[in-house]
Structure 1
Amino acid sequence: MDALDRLRALCLALPETTERLSHGEPVWFVRGKKAFVMFADHHHDDRRAFWCAAPAGAQEALVGGDPERFFRPPYVGHRGWLGVYLDVPEVDWDEVAELVADAYRQIAPKSLIARLP
Structure 2
Amino acid sequence: MIYNHIIDVKMLEKDNKLIRAAMLKIRYADLIFKAQQQISGKAIGKKEMKKKAKLWEAQLQKEKVKSHREKAREEARTVTANIKKTVEFGDSIQVENDFLAMIGATNH
TM-score bracket for this pair, using the shorter chain length: under 0.3
- TM-score, structure 2 as length reference: 0.24
| Structure label with greater radius of gyration | 2
The structure with the largest helix share of the pair is: 2
